[in-house]
Structure 1
C-alpha cells in the first residue's frame, strides 16, 4: 500500500472498491437519478461505517452522522433513518454482489502468485449457515412454524497461512436444501472441493466425476456401499481403512467407483469420507477434509464481528444487501492484510482501523504492518 497519502484510514481501507466499477453500476441501475441528497457513494460509506461499528439500527446510523468526521467523509450533514431504509430496500442486490465479486478478483490476483510458488492446488470449501430473522417482520422467509431465516451458502478458498476468504455466495430462504447449490458453487476443474453431508447427492457425484471435478465429502454411516478393493495403509497412518467402492443398491448403483476412507475425529467418532481422488495418499485426503473447519471458523467470525445478527430492513432485498455489505467488509480486511504483508488478524486490523478511522492512513498502515507509529 502507498504510504505517502493524505487519505484517512477509512478511505485507505475502502480504496480497493473500484470507483470506475462503482460509477458504472450506479449508472447501470439508475441509482442516483433524481437523488437530491443520499447518493450511492455516501450511502455505501455509511453502510461500511455501520458494519465496522456493528451499529444496531438505521436510527443509530442516522444519529452517527452527527460526527463531523463522518459528515466530511460522506458529504452529509444529516440524514433520516427513513431515507436510509428506503434506500436499502430499493438498491438491487446485484449492485453489492458485483462489488463483492470484484474484491474477490483482487484477492485471487494477490494470492495466485503465492499458490503458484508453492505449486499447490486450490482448495475450496462449501457449506451454509442459517441467519435467523424475526418471524413477525420477515414472513417471506418463514421456514418453521415459529421461525424465519435465510441461508448463506458459501464457497471459501482455503489458504494454509490463515488467509481464507469467500469467493462465491448464494442467499436463499432457510428452507432451501443445501444440495441444490452444488450446481452453482462447483464450477472450477482446477481445484479440489470439500463439503459435508448436507450436500450428499450420488447422481451429482457421478456427474462431477464424469465432468472432471474432484471432491471429498462425508458419507452417512448407513449408506449402502459395495467394496471392490482394499488399499494398504502405512503403519503410522491416521486412517483406519481405505477402499475402492461403488455406492447404492443393485437396482440403483453409482456408475463410477469412489474411494471410502474411515477416520476418527478429535472426539473419537468415526467419519466415513468419500472422494473421487485416487492419486493422493489416504492421509492427504483426511487432511483435506480436516480443512473444512476453516469455513466453520469463518461463519463464527462473521456472526461475532459483523452486523448480520440484527437486520435493518424487513424486505428480502434489504436483508440480502446487508449480508453482502458484511462480505465486502470482510474482503476489505483480507486485502488490507495481503497488501501490507501484515501478520495481524482480521480482528486486529478492524480494531486498529476503528481506533484510527479519521486519522492519516499511514498511522493505521504502520500499525497493522507491525511498525512503530511516530
Structure 2
C-alpha cells in the first residue's frame, strides 16, 4: 500500500540517517523491513507469508527481528506519536483535558511456524501499556513481561517512561490491580494527578471536608479525597489527590479508562497481534512496536478523511481497496464498506 509507505518514508529516513541503520544491510533496507511488518499488521497477512512474498525467508526475517535492535522501531514510533499528539493539543480548554490510563493485556503468541507452515506451539506474554485515553486513544509506550508477572510490579517503570510534559498535564487513571498506598503517596508527593478505586476492605477514617469534598485518612497516614457515586443502586468509591474537579468528572475520568480496552481490542481483533515469529525479547518488542506504528498510521488516515468513521471501517476500507489517495488527501468509498 503506497500511501502507508509514504507516511513512513520521512521519519524512517531521519532515523536511518541518525543511526546508520543501512550501512551494513545487504539484504533488506530499514524502510522495507519496517514496511513489511506494518503492511502485514494492517492487512492481517501472516508475517511468514508476507516475508516470502517479498523474497525474504522466514529464517532471515526472524534473524532480523532477533539481531537488529528494537531501538529504531521505538524511535520511529515516537517520530509518529508526538506530531500526532501535538495535532490534538487541547490545552486551550483547560489543564486537565488529557487523561492517561495504565493497563495490561495478555497476548497469545504462535511462535512455531505460521501461515502455510503453522505449528501448534502456543505461548503467551503480557503487554503493559500507558495510553492517552482522552480526548483520543493512543499508546505512549509498552513493557513486555511473562504472563505471570504482577501488573503492579511494573507500574513505576511505566510511569518513569512517560514524557513529563504529558504526565504532569494529565489525569492518571488505573484500576485496583495497581492499588498500593505507598504508590498513592508518591504520586501525591510528585503532584501527579490520579484517580483510582478504593478497595472494599480498605481501612480509613473520614477526617473532614474541603470545599464540600470528603477527605479520608488511610492507615499509612496519607490523606486523599474520596468520591462516592451511586450507579444503579451500587455505591462506587473513588480516591484522588485532586480537589478542584466535580465528583461527576472524577467518575467520568475513571470510566474513560475503558478506552484502553478498546485499544487492546483493536490490536488483537483488527491488527491481530497474535503471531510473533521470534523467540527473543528483542524480536517480540520489534513486532509489538510495529503494530503500534500500524495503529497510529491507521488513525492518521482515519482523521485525514474528515468524517466520523470507526477504526474497523478504516481497516476494512484499506484491505478492500476502498481508501483513495489523491493530491495528498485520503478519501473513502463508503458504499463499498
TM norm structure 2: 0.84
Q: Supply the distance in 2 between the matched residues of 1:54 and 1:278 (Cα, whole angstroms).
A: 46
Larger Rg: 1
In the superposition, relative to structure 1, how do residues 340 and 106 fare at CA in structure 2: closer, same or farther (>3 Å)?
farther
The answer as to 2:81 corresponding to 1:104 is yes
Stretches of structure 2 that go unaligned for 5 or more consecutive residues are 114-120
Q: How far 1:200 sits from its partner (Å)?
A: 1.0
| Residue 313 of structure 1 pairs with residue 278 of structure 2 | yes
| CA distance in structure 1 between the partners assigned to 2:231 and 2:171 by the alignment | 21
Q: Provide the alpha-carbon RMSD of the alignment.
A: 3.1
> Equivalent residues in 2 for 1:79-228 (5 A)?
79-112=56-89, 115-119=90-94, 121=96, 122-133=98-109, 148-160=123-135, 163-186=136-159, 187=164, 188-228=167-207
Q: Confirm or deny: 8 A CA contact 2:95 2:169 kept in the other structure.
A: no
Residues 111 and 279 of structure 2 are in contact (CA less than 8 Å); yes or no, is this contact kept in structure 1? no
Change (3 A) 1:147 1:344: closer
SS of the residue corresponding to residue 49 of structure 1 reads helix
Contact 2:301–2:330 (Cα < 8 Å) also in 1: no
Alignment check: 8 A CA contact 1:165 1:334 kept: no
The alpha-carbon deviation at position 134 of structure 1 amounts to: 5.8
Distance 1:207 1:352, change over 3 A: same
Query: Does the 8 A contact of 2:77 with 2:289 survive in 1?
Result: yes
Corresponding residue number in structure 2 for 1:61: 50
CA 1:16 to 1:156, structure 2 compared with 1: closer, same or farther past 3 Å? Answer: farther
| Other-structure match for 1:278 | 243
Asked if the contact 2:194–2:240 (Cα under 8 Å) also holds between the matched residues in 1, the reply is yes
Q: Residues 309-341 of structure 1, C-alpha deviation per residue, up to 9 Å, x if partnerless?
A: 122222222122111100010111222234443
Give the alignment of 1:32-71 within 5 angstroms. Answer: 32-58=22-48, 60-65=49-54
Q: Unaligned 5+ residue runs, structure 1?
A: 1-6, 66-77, 138-145, 234-241
Which residue pairs with 1:244 in the alignment?
A: 215
Report deviation, 1:366: 4.1
- In the alignment, the residues of structure 2 paired with residue 332 and residue 105 of structure 1 have an alpha-carbon distance, to the nearest angstrom, of 13
**Pair 262,147 (structure 1): closer, same or farther in 2 beyond 3 Å:** farther
Deviations 1:46-69 (A, max 9, x none): 1111111222341x113433xxxx
State the match for 1:260 in structure 2: 226
| TM-score normalised to structure 1 length | 0.76
Q: Does the CA contact (< 8 Å) of 1:259 and 1:277 recur in 2?
A: yes
* Correspondence for 2:294 among 324, 329, 332: 329
Q: Is the 8 A contact 1:228 1:244 kept in 2?
A: yes
The count of corresponding residues between Structure 1 and Structure 2 is: 322
